[in-house]
Structures are given as C-alpha cells and as structure tokens.
Amino acid sequence: MTDMAPRRRGRPARKDMDSGPSAQQKILESARAEFAERGYDKTSIRGIAKAAGVDPALVHHYFGTKDEVFAAAIEVSFEPALMLPALLADGMDGIGERLARYFIGIWENPVTRAPLLAIMRSALTHDAAAKVLRTFVLRRLLERIAEELDVPDPTFRAELAASHMIGIAFLRYVIKADPLASADSEQIVRMVAPTLQRYLTES
Amino acid sequence: MTDMAPRRRGRPARKDMDSGPSAQQKILESARAEFAERGYDKTSIRGIAKAAGVDPALVHHYFGTKDEVFAAAIEVSFEPALMLPALLADGMDGIGERLARYFIGIWENPVTRAPLLAIMRSALTHDAAAKVLRTFVLRRLLERIAEELDVPDPTFRAELAASHMIGIAFLRYVIKADPLASADSEQIVRMVAPTLQRYLTES
C-alpha cells in the first residue's frame, strides 16, 4: 500500500497522491473536522480530501466508502472510552463512582465533548451514521466492558449504565436544561454513582 | 381575535384568511408535521401555512414567531408527559416502576415516538430549538413533577430520572443498539424502576 507515490516533505500539493502515515493521519483529522462541522449528510469524500489537501482517490484507498471513513473518524473520538475496560479491571469496589467521574470528565472537556456531540447529531439525523455507530463502535465497546462484569446479562447492564450517562450528557450539554446544566459535576457523580454500581455489580 | 374573517365550512382556499379554532388546529398539525419531517432549520412559517392551506399572516397572527410556533407544536407532543404529575399524585409507592413503564410505553408507540424523536433531532441540530425546549417545555414539566416530590433538590432529582429515560430512548430507538434495542420492555422496567424510585423518593 506504499507504492502509490513517493513520500515527500512539507505540505502536499492538492491533487497529488501523497501517501504514508502522515497523509493517512491528515485525512482522519480532516474527516473528523468535516463530520463534526457539517454532519454526516453534508460531508463528502471530496470535501474531506480537499480539506486534507489530497486526492479523493487516496481517501478511498485508505478508508474505503464514506461509511468506513466515518467509522474510522469516530473511533478516534471514542479513544477516551477505550480506557473504560482498563478502569473496570482495577476492581469493582467504587467502580460506579469512578466511572461516573470519568464520564463526566470527558464531557466537561470541550476537546473531547465536541466530537461526541457531532456523533450524537449525525446518529440522530442519519440512519447510516446510526448504523455505523451501532455496528462498528458501540457494540465492540460494550462487549469489552461486559467481559469485565460478573452479573447476568452483562452487555445489557453495560448499556443501561451507558444510557444514563448519555441522557445526562444530552440534557446537560445539548439542551443545557437546568438544574442539571449548572449543577456541580460532583453533585451529579454522587447521585449517579450508586446507580452505575448497581447495574455493573449487583445480580 | 375572531374579527379577521368569517368562519366558513369546508376546506379553506389558499391565501384566504380563515380563522377560528379549526384553522388554528390545522396550523398546529401542519407545524408538527413540518418540524417532524424537515427539522427545525428547514421549516418555515410559509411552508407551515402552505401545508395548512392558510395565509402565512394567519400563522403569525395565532402563534407569532417561528420559535413560538415551534413551542406550540412540540407542546402537543408532550401531552403524554403532562400526565406525569397526575401519576405522581397517586403516591410514591412503586412510583419508579409505574413511571418507567409509562415512559417506555410512550416510546414503544410509533404515534407518540415520532414527534419526540423529531424534537430530539431539532434540539441537537439547532440551538434555537434547544432553547425553546429548555425554556418553554422541559423546565415547566420538571417543575410540575418536582412539586409532587418530598426530597432535597426535587427538580434536580426529576431531571436525573428524565435523563436516564431519555438516554434509554436514544440507544434503543435512535441508535437501535443491542441488547437494549431488542430487550423486552418489561426487562428494562425491572432494572430501571429501582433507579427512578431512589431518585424520586430517597433523600
């Protein structure tokens, strides 16, 4: 896959078939920015290529269809979530509180919040985006978490916990509905922790 | 406000200033359909008027700005939620289970689900829609529920309970992510009921 064009230094000229890890990374970053800004529907392979300064064929070459580019782009945004199984492996004592605090932390930080909001927006407005999220990302993540749990229906339990945190994010950061929007994050952690603890540990 | 035009029978001709409760009702129904189908951004007073077969001035006359039409349109969709305070007034014994079952029932029914999805979609994609939802609808609803509760921070508690149900709706009906998407609704009620019960009754 490295035989498309010689690697070169500096900013690649448009229409050139720049390749190598830096072009791939640049495409991913452009894809993430385009999907976040325009939503799933209005983002095109051509637009991503233009923003990355590469030929559209190179986007196809590395990532395939628009759905596959989307999956790769949103996987980057879920990197913080990929930490979750490691958090769980530390043991189940106080796991509800640790998870609640970790999740709120991701949403409090504008850098990690923005791409997640873009994903929610795309999933709500475009079935194809919802399908990618469901198939490529969410399922794998929930199953990795479930492996660490010792309860009946562990994937169902993991998804119930996730649903609560997603709903809080929706009301606090999207709708910005008080009192949740202006509540102290530790107040939320205190209330939510026992719920997550029950879902993830009590049979 | 009834001096604009005489009431008449049958379907009003376009461009006519039909008035009275039937025109008002027709405008509301058209507004609801337009917002649900096109989303907040692409819906216009002119489009709503055209769908209702009335003059745009009549839409302004009855409902004011686009934001105010939106507020009136989504309030209809929240009619099932307006039952919640009555449900609460029946007493706190087993309220978590009754609420969970009632809420899931609203989302299981395509007729009541469709407008709620349209509202979530509009709120995620348009700040003005989020503001209307937050200001006109959600706050009033949460405060009415809070009046029935005997806990500290009752509005915060009500919103936490709401956040969980909204998150479940998002994963089950929007993303359609298994296992939550194909779970039996009673299985969800069983797991969620103790959470709602705790938020709404335990200090």
Say if B180 is an interface residue toward chain A (CB within 8 Å).
yes
A156–B183: do the CB atoms touch at under 8 Å? yes
Q: In sequence order, what are the residues at sequence separation of 6 or more whose Cβ sits closer than 8 angstroms to the Cβ of residue A31?
A: A43, A48, A52, A59, A63, A69, A70, A72, A73
- pLDDT of the residue at A21: 63
- pLDDT of the residue at B14: 43
- pLDDT tens, position by position, B59-78: 999 999 988 888 888 777 77
- pLDDT tens, position by position, A104-147: 988 888 878 887 888 888 888 788 888 888 887 788 788 888 88
Mean of the per-residue pLDDT values for chain B?
A: 83
- Average pLDDT score over residue span A68-86: 76
pLDDT > 70? residue B2: no
In 3D space, the residue among B72, B175, B19 whose CA is nearest the CA of residue A124 turns out to be B175
The reply to whether the predicted model has a pTM over 0.90 is no
Q: How far apart are CA A200 and CA A98, in angstroms?
A: 12
Say if A74 is an interface residue toward chain B (CB within 8 Å).
no
- pLDDT of the residue at B182: 96
- pLDDT tens, position by position, B23-47: 888 998 899 888 877 878 788 999 9
Indicate the residue type of B84: L
Q: Of all residues in chain B, what percent carry a pLDDT higher than 90?
A: 37
Say if A120 is an interface residue toward chain B (CB within 8 Å).
yes
Reported as a pLDDT band with limits 50, 70 and 90, residue A55 is very high
- pLDDT of the residue at A100: 92
pLDDT > 80? residue B1: no
Joined tokens for residue B140: 């009033």
Examine residue A179 and say whether the peptide bond preceding it is cis (omega within 30 degrees of 0).
Answer: yes
| Closest residue in chain A to residue B182, using alpha carbons only | A156
Q: How far apart are CA B191 and CA B177, in angstroms?
A: 17
Q: How far apart are CA A130 and CA A184, in angstroms?
A: 31
Neighbours of B67 (CB within 10 A): 16
Say if B134 is an interface residue toward chain A (CB within 8 Å).
yes
pLDDT > 50? residue B3: no
Reported as a pLDDT band with limits 50, 70 and 90, residue B157 is very high
Reported as a pLDDT band with limits 50, 70 and 90, residue A101 is very high
- Residue of A155, A166, A195 with shortest CB distance to B195: A195
Q: In sequence order, what are the residues at sequence separation of 6 or more whose Cβ sits closer than 8 angstroms to the Cβ of residue B3?
A: none
Tell which wins on pLDDT, A120 or A56.
A56
Neighbours of B203 (CB within 10 A): 8
- pLDDT tens, position by position, A2-42: 344 444 444 444 444 545 568 888 998 899 888 878 878 78
A163–B171: do the CB atoms touch at under 8 Å? yes
The distance of B89 to chain A (nearest Cα, Å) reads 22
Chain B contact set for A161 (CB, 8 A) = none
Query: Across the A/B interface, how many CB contacts are shorter than 8 Å?
Result: 133
Joined tokens for residue A151: 């309860």
Distance of CA B24 to the CA centre of its chain: 19
Helix, strand and coil in chain B, % to nearest 5: 75, 0, 25
pLDDT > 80? residue A177: yes
Chain B contact set for A125 (CB, 8 A) = 39, 121, 124-125
Q: In sequence order, what are the residues at sequence separation of 6 or more whose Cβ sits closer than 8 angstroms to the Cβ of residue A158?
A: A142, A145, A146, A149, A199, A200
Examine residue B179 and say whether the peptide bond preceding it is cis (omega within 30 degrees of 0).
Answer: yes
Say if A70 is an interface residue toward chain B (CB within 8 Å).
no
- Residue of B177, B188, B194 with shortest CB distance to A138: B177
- pLDDT of the residue at A155: 94
Taking a C-beta distance cutoff of 8 angstroms, is the pair A177, B139 a contact?
A: yes
CA count, 13 A, side-chain hemisphere, A21: 0
- Average pLDDT score over residue span A39-66: 91
- pLDDT of the residue at A203: 82
B139–A178: do the CB atoms touch at under 8 Å? yes
Say if A165 is an interface residue toward chain B (CB within 8 Å).
yes
Say if A168 is an interface residue toward chain B (CB within 8 Å).
yes
Residue recorded with tokens 């199984």: A85
Neighbours of B2 (CB within 10 A): 9
| Closest residue in chain B to residue A116, using alpha carbons only | B124
Candidate from A19-28, A169-178, B38-47, B175-184 with smallest mean pLDDT: A19-28
